C-alpha cells in the first residue's frame, strides 16, 4: 500500500487510474483488525492501486472527502469517485471484499 507525505500527492493519485484510499490511524483498534488481510485483498484486486491515508496527518483530505470515521475506503477512477465505504464501524473482510468488487 502506497503512502504520500504531501496533500498534493494524494490529489494527483486520485486522478490517475483506479485507486482506493484507506483512511486509518495508528491508534485505531478497528484499523488494526483489518490490517492482516489487506495485502491479500490488494493482490486479489490488482487492477486497483491502494493508498494509505493517515487521518491525523492528512485531516484536510479527510475534510475534503467527508471522511470522519475510520477505517474508511474511498475509490476513484480517473478523478471520479466510484464508491465509498465510510463509517466509524468495524469492517469485516467480506464487507471490504464486497466494496472492492463493486468499484472495479
Helix then strand then coil, % of the chain, to nearest 5: 40, 25, 35
Active site residues: 28, 31
Domain boundaries, the chain: 7-102
Q: Give the per-residue pLDDT at 88.
A: 74
Residue with cell 493482490: 43
**Per-residue pLDDT tens for 14-67?**
999 999 999 999 999 999 999 999 999 999 999 999 999 999 999 999 999 999
Global pTM reads 0.92
**Per-residue pLDDT tens for 77-86?**
999 999 999 8
CA gap 11, 29 in Å, rounded = 27
**Candidate CATH numbers 3.40.30.10, 1.20.1050.140, 3.40.50.150, 3.60.21.10; the one for domain 7-102:** 3.40.30.10
Amino acid at each position: 500500500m502506497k503512502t504520500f507525505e504531501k496533500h498534493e500527492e494524494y490529489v494527483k493519485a486520485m486522478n490517475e487510474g483506479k485507486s482506493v484510499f484507506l483512511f486509518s490511524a495508528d491508534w485505531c483498534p478497528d484499523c488494526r483488525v483489518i490490517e492482516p488481510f489487506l495485502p491479500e485483498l490488494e493482490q486479489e484486486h490488482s487492477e486497483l492501486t491502494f493508498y494509505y491515508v493517515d487521518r491525523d496527518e492528512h485531516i484536510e483530505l479527510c475534510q475534503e472527502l467527508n471522511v470522519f470515521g475510520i477505517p474508511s475506503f474511498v475509490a476513484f477512477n480517473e478523478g471520479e469517485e466510484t464508491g465509498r465505504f465510510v463509517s466509524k464501524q468495524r469492517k469485516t473482510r467480506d464487507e471490504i471484499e464486497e466494496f472492492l468488487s463493486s468499484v472495479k
